[in-house]
Chain A
């Protein structure tokens, strides 16, 4: 877009349409707040309960520098791990993350070097651990761990499979949260390109109104949205029709996403 053309004709109407449509999209704000952390917390809580384990935790891969960061944990013994980071190929979590293979080790208390990096910082050395990768379509994004199942010194085959199912749920939750975040960013850029003078607070309010409930299942509508935003940013004329198209896609996507969440 050429300089000077950043606030095209029809901006006020476009913004009014955005706000109106955002309300019309009828998105329940059941997932407000930090959706990713809340969903992950519910998964580790359920995992710890299911396995009757001392602790469960999820570490998420972050880059620059590459590391696995323990984002959520359940149980008294696990909470000390929140915020800790380990190398992406380090220890059990790193191995599971980098190979995509779920494994369990037990009788590890006899080896003080086991999981030393985390144990030294939390003062908690587990006797047994099971870990499964969070596998997205583009590769592993993190690791789900269970520490010290109370009813048994080891983990069974069924334990491993259930753990992998829970890891799959965590992966979906993260994908949903990230798509929502990314969609918010795209909308922000679209809005600001229409009206650079729009106050940040107003933009945030509109985005918050529109984006809850999106998830990663509907890949095609998502990319339709991206394409629409790109077109909007490069448009020279009144962008109202394009904005309407964006919102239509968004509304469709949100509606289907809510169905998707209900099914889970």
Chain B
């Protein structure tokens, strides 16, 4: 189904096959080790979006703070916000994360609804606030092709990375680059269609590094409602949920360590064919496949490859 017209960030994940084969994995890393028994406890997750509806039943009372970015005469300021969702999208993302990591603390950082001319500035201010306020995982639902915002986003995501804040961001299905999802320090996510929140793939051919469930996802929507949604922006919070689980069990991991763990326990196919690997000379700490030493029952949604 290769079509040169399509940006097709989801394509490797839509039909997982040869493109996702990865011969080498880090030895001893299993899902059980990574997040077995974890609940997300102690991890603050920021939702930079349309505002969380705190009393939506699917959020289970896990929202601890609501702020909004306003653009004042002297630039952006972060103020306390009402516990409501202008659209429904933030609540959908928050509920996906709580569904996977029920004890996380959600922080609503609303950047939508204000003056659109300040959108990039508001987003930057919201992310900056998150970095300064103990957020460990941040789910972003905004992307831009604007070259003017490229350096702004680049500096921010680097800042987040160096301060061990994991940013999950939906890839944008438009031709050409869009930011910040395609920066290397971000957990960029596209959608796959397999209905399992814990099924995810690592893409060895970035820029989009992860594929997670994002098609026909039952979601929370505003005013206590529910609906069914498709889009990369519903895949990204699934990865945010996994990151929150890992960080709650292993506090202090840097984003690159979390990425390495996710890559090691992803559902990529191809691990039953060690003879296809590069062969001799690999480090002793790396194995051609964990099938033999990894408890299968610890892995949810094991790939069929």
Decide if B119 is an interface residue (CB 8 Å cutoff): yes
Q: Across the two chains, which residue of chain B brings its CB closest to A92? A: B87
Asked, given contacts A101-B233, A104-B230, whether A113 binds B215 with beta carbons under 8 Å apart, the answer is no
Do B230 and A111 touch across chains, with their CB atoms under 8 A apart? no
Decide if A199 is an interface residue (CB 8 Å cutoff): no
Contact with A98, one of B116, B172, B215 (Cβ below 8 angstroms): B116
Nearest-CB distance from A147 to chain B (Å)? 15
Binary interface encoding of chain A residues 69-99 relative to chain B, with 1 for a CB under 8 A from any of its CBs, else 0:
0000000000000000000111110110011
Which size class do B's interface residues fall under?
A: 35 or more
Nearest-CB distance from A79 to chain B (Å)? 26
Q: List residues of chain A with CB within 8 A of the CB of B146.
A: 137-139
Nearest-CB distance from A50 to chain B (Å)? 12
Q: Across the two chains, which residue of chain B brings its CB closest to A153? A: B228
Decide if B113 is an interface residue (CB 8 Å cutoff): yes
Find residues 167-226 in chain B having any chain A CB closer than 8 Å to their own CB. Answer: 170, 172-175, 178, 191-193, 214-216, 221, 223, 225
Binary interface encoding of chain A residues 154-193 relative to chain B, with 1 for a CB under 8 A from any of its CBs, else 0:
1111111110110110000000000000000000000000
Do B87 and A114 touch across chains, with their CB atoms under 8 A apart? no
Binary interface encoding of chain A residues 117-133 relative to chain B, with 1 for a CB under 8 A from any of its CBs, else 0:
00000000000001011
Asked, given contacts A101-B141, A101-B233, A114-B227, whether A95 binds B87 with beta carbons under 8 Å apart, the answer is yes
Report the Cα distance A105→B216, complex, angstroms: 8
* Binding stretch for chain A, among B6-14, B38-46, B75-83, B246-254: B6-14
Q: Across the two chains, which residue of chain A brings its CB closest to B179? A: A100
Report the Cα distance A156→B216, complex, angstroms: 8
Q: Across the two chains, which residue of chain B brings its CB closest to A107? A: B228
Find residues 133-181 in chain B having any chain A CB closer than 8 Å to their own CB. Answer: 141-148, 170, 172-175, 178
Nearest-CB distance from B111 to chain A (Å)? 9
Decide if A66 is an interface residue (CB 8 Å cutoff): yes
Q: List residues of chain A with CB within 8 A of the CB of B49.
A: 99
Asked, given contacts A113-B223, A157-B193, A165-B6, whether A89 binds B113 with beta carbons under 8 Å apart, the answer is yes
Decide if B86 is an interface residue (CB 8 Å cutoff): yes
Decide if B271 is an interface residue (CB 8 Å cutoff): no
Nearest-CB distance from B174 to chain A (Å)? 5
Do A162 and B6 touch across chains, with their CB atoms under 8 A apart? yes
Do A105 and B145 touch across chains, with their CB atoms under 8 A apart? no
Q: Across the two chains, which residue of chain B brings its CB closest to A87? A: B113
Nearest-CB distance from B170 to chain A (Å)? 6
Q: List residues of chain B with CB within 8 A of the CB of A164.
A: 7, 173-174
Nearest-CB distance from A136 to chain B (Å)? 8
Do B7 and A161 touch across chains, with their CB atoms under 8 A apart? yes
Asked, given contacts A99-B143, A103-B231, A156-B215, whether A89 binds B87 with beta carbons under 8 Å apart, the answer is yes
Do B233 and A94 touch across chains, with their CB atoms under 8 A apart? no
Report the Cα distance A108→B218, complex, angstroms: 12
Decide if A43 is an interface residue (CB 8 Å cutoff): no
Do A139 and B14 touch across chains, with their CB atoms under 8 A apart? no
Q: List residues of chain B with CB within 8 A of the CB of A59.
A: none
Do B89 and A103 touch across chains, with their CB atoms under 8 A apart? yes
Q: List residues of chain A with CB within 8 A of the CB of B89.
A: 95, 99, 103
Asked, given contacts A103-B231, A107-B227, A139-B146, whether A168 binds B174 with beta carbons under 8 Å apart, the answer is yes
Do B215 and A157 touch across chains, with their CB atoms under 8 A apart? yes
Q: List residues of chain A with CB within 8 A of the CB of B113.
A: 89
Q: List residues of chain B with CB within 8 A of the CB of A132.
A: 173
Decide if A11 is an interface residue (CB 8 Å cutoff): no
Decide if A229 is an interface residue (CB 8 Å cutoff): no
Q: List residues of chain A with CB within 8 A of the CB of B228.
A: 105-107, 154
Contact with A99, one of B14, B142, B234 (Cβ below 8 angstroms): B142
Asked, given contacts A98-B116, A161-B173, A168-B175, whether A105 binds B223 with beta carbons under 8 Å apart, the answer is no
Decide if A251 is an interface residue (CB 8 Å cutoff): no
Q: List residues of chain B with CB within 8 A of the CB of A146.
A: none
Do A161 and B6 touch across chains, with their CB atoms under 8 A apart? yes
Q: Across the two chains, which residue of chain B brings its CB closest to A171? A: B174
Do A135 and B87 touch across chains, with their CB atoms under 8 A apart? no
Nearest-CB distance from A8 to chain B (Å)? 39
Decide if B263 is an interface residue (CB 8 Å cutoff): no
Find residues 41-67 in chain B having any chain A CB closer than 8 Å to their own CB. Answer: 49-50
Contact with B170, one of A101, A104, A106, A137 (Cβ below 8 angstroms): A101
Asked, given contacts A98-B116, A113-B223, whether A130 binds B230 with beta carbons under 8 Å apart, the answer is yes
Report the Cα distance A114→B226, complex, angstroms: 11
Q: List residues of chain B with CB within 8 A of the CB of A155.
A: 230
Nearest-CB distance from A55 to chain B (Å)? 18
Do B142 and A154 touch across chains, with their CB atoms under 8 A apart? no
Q: List residues of chain A with CB within 8 A of the CB of B30.
A: none
Nearest-CB distance from B10 to chain A (Å)? 5
Do B145 and A100 touch across chains, with their CB atoms under 8 A apart? yes
Q: List residues of chain B with CB within 8 A of the CB of A159.
A: 230
Identify 5 residue pairs between A and B in the complex whose beta-carbon atoms are under 8 Å apart, listed by A's number. A101-B170, A101-B231, A102-B173, A135-B174, A168-B174
Beyond contacts A135-B145, A154-B230, A161-B6: 4 other A-B pairs, Cβ-Cβ < 8 A, are A101-B142, A103-B234, A135-B178, A161-B10
CB-based closest 10 A-B pairs: A103-B231, A104-B230, A164-B173, A95-B87, A101-B233, A100-B143, A161-B6, A157-B10, A106-B228, A99-B142
